[in-house]
A and B are shown apart, each in its own frame.
Chain A
Amino acid sequence: GQQLNQSPQSMFIQEGEDVSMNCTSSSIFNTWLWYKQDPGEGPVLLIALYKAGELTSNGRLTAQFGITRKDSFLNISASIPSDVGIYFCAGLPGNMLTFGGGTRLMVKP
């Protein structure tokens, strides 16, 4: 089946630092999505990408759909304590979402 490799698995950073995480696939995806899961809640959609090369921002978050259609990255600028959570990439090779293993982000005030 489809495999999404998400890295890093966890990050512990200082408030104010920028964060970068990425996702790679062995297959071509038509859509890339980035979700955030707050503690005790379900994942919430942050950004959706639909075209190779597309760069999309949502506040301090920026995500890009890789040119090869096999990767995507998410950047968070000037991190704040409420950025804490698990970030998941997800891809649509067809009709069903495939999720990465998640990046657990911890922010030290």
Chain B
Amino acid sequence: AQTVTQSQPEMSVQEAETVTLSCTYDTSESDYYLFWYKQPPSRQMILVIRQEAYKQQNATENRFSVNFQKAAKSFSLKISDSQLGDAAMYFCALTGANSKLTFGKGITLSVRP
């Protein structure tokens, strides 16, 4: 069975500052993929960033980057230069050969102007 744990229910960041959202996971598979999804209030879920487990290099997408620590089964998301539009619920998710996503409980990020 796969599990994803997001232990921080809420975080807050000042606009233009950097914030890191934590995620740990467990899987018995050797090939798997990790994702961060963003779900703004009353809006649909969109992909922020993905990481293939076989890649050692951490994924980056503009202001978003991950710190993937495979041995520790840790997958944190760093948001640089935070913007008001970054306020949302963020979900860490994992998938393996069975294709279904396993999500964490999510973290609510608020951005202070």
A and B from one complex? no
Chain A residues with CB under 8 Å of chain B are none
Chain B residues with CB under 8 Å of chain A are none
